[in-house]
Structure 1
Amino acid sequence: MMRALIAPDQVLRVPLLPVLATQALLVRRNARLLPEPTGPREGRTGRGPRLRLLITGDSSAAGVGAGTQAQALSGQLVDRLARHHSVEWQLEATTGHTTLDTIDRLRGIKGEFDAVVTALGVNDVTRAVSCRTFSERQAQLINILSNELEARRIIITGVPQMHRFPALPHPLAWVLGRQAARLDNALQQVVSVHSHVQHLRLDLPDDPALAAPDGYHPSPRAYALWADAAARLLLQA
C-alpha cells in the first residue's frame, strides 16, 4: 500500500514554525478588527414565487468588511433574487465560526428553506482542522440542511484562496493558502455526491478594491460579485 505524498508546505512547516508563529502573532496584533455590519438579519421582499433563503457561516457570511447588511452578501443576494421571487430570508452567521460551530448553531434553528448559501472554511484552516475532519463536518452540515431544514438547493461557497489575502505575509500566506486549497478540494468531493448541492468557487480578479480595509475580508464590491454568482446558480435551478 502506497503512502500518501506529503505536500512541500507540510514538510516545511516544522523548520518554518518559528517564522510562521511570529508572523501569525504580528498579523493578529496588527489586525484591524472590523465589526459585523448593521442592518436586518431577516426579512421579506420582492414579488413572484416564494423563496425561503438561509445564509449561514462565518464572518464573510455575516458581512464583515461591509458597512451595512445591504452592502454585504445577504443584502446583495436578496436584492438580486427579489427581482424574480418573493424572498423570505434569514442570516445565521457569526465571526470566527468554523463548520462545527455552524452545525451547533443550526441545530437550534426551526423552519424549512428552499435555498441555502454557506460560507465556511477560513476558520477551519486557521484552527488546523484536518481534511478528513473538515469533510466529515461538511457532510454533516449538508445532512442537517437537507433533512432537518429540508433545503432543496444548497450552494456551498468554496474555501477562499487565502494566499491572496493582503493581510497575510509570506510564507504564512503560502502555508495557509495551500491548506485552504486542500480543504476546498475535499469540499468539492463532499459536494459531488449530492445532486441538490453545488460548489461555488470564487475566483475573483486581483483588484485591491475587492479587499476590505483589514486585508482579510471582502469589500462591498467583492460581495457584489459573490452575490451575482450565487444568484445565477439559484436562479438556474
Structure 2
Amino acid sequence: MKYQDFVNAKYKEALAGQPTSIGGSNFVKQAASDFYRTDYEFIGEHKIFRSADIESKTQAVRQETVAANLVEFAGTEEAAHVLSSVLQQGVVTGLLTSLSNSEGVALNSHLRPVNIKTTTGIHRQVTLFKDDGTREVILDPRGMGTAKFKLSRNENSDFKLLVDWQAYYDLQRDNVGENLVDGLPLGENDVIGVHFQTEFIINKVEADKGEIQISTDGISATFSGRLQMN
C-alpha cells in the first residue's frame, strides 16, 4: 500500500470513531487526549498560535486552549474535527513503523524507539556515537512527545501540516528480562538518531464537509550516529 493511501485510510478510520467534545466542538478522541501535551503551531493569516506559549500547566485549560485555537484556525467546526485526526500521536506512530529495508523488514524489528521509560526514567544515560569518535549524551529522549506539528495554508488555501520529529533508537530487547536481541553492531547504551519529516496537504473543501482527503509525497528520514564496528 502506498503511503498516501495508508494515511487516508488511517485517518478516515480515526474520524469514524466516537468523537470527544471540548468547548462544544467535536474532535477525534486521541487528539483530544494529546492536545495538552503536544507541540503545536497554527499559522493563520492574522494570528500565530503556539501551544508552547500557553502559561497554564493544567490539562483541561491546555486542552481547551488548543481546541479553541484549532477551530479558529480551521474556520469551521467540521474542518477542525477533520484536522484533529492528524494532530495526534498516531501520526508519529505511523512514522515510527514506516521505515523498512528493501526486503520489507521493519526498522523497529531490530531497533527500539527510546523514551523516558527506557532511559532517564530508569536512570540510564544513552549516547550518540558521532563520526569523530566522540559520544554525545542525549539529555531528553522523550519519544513521541518531542514531535512538532505545524499547521498553515498553502497557495490554494488548503491546509498544510508539517510533522517534524527527532527520534532515537537503541537495540531491540526481547520480552524476557530485557535481553538484547542480536542485530546491528550498536553499543548497549548507544542510539541511532532518525530525524523524520512528513507533509500532508488536507483538502479544505472536503474538510469543511467533514471529510478528509490527504495528499503527501511521503516521509523524509535522516539518520545520525555510527555503528560500533570492531
TM-score (norm 2): 0.29
Query: Of Structure 1 and Structure 2, which has the larger fraction of its residues in strand?
Result: 2
Larger helix fraction of residues? 1
The higher radius of gyration belongs to: 2
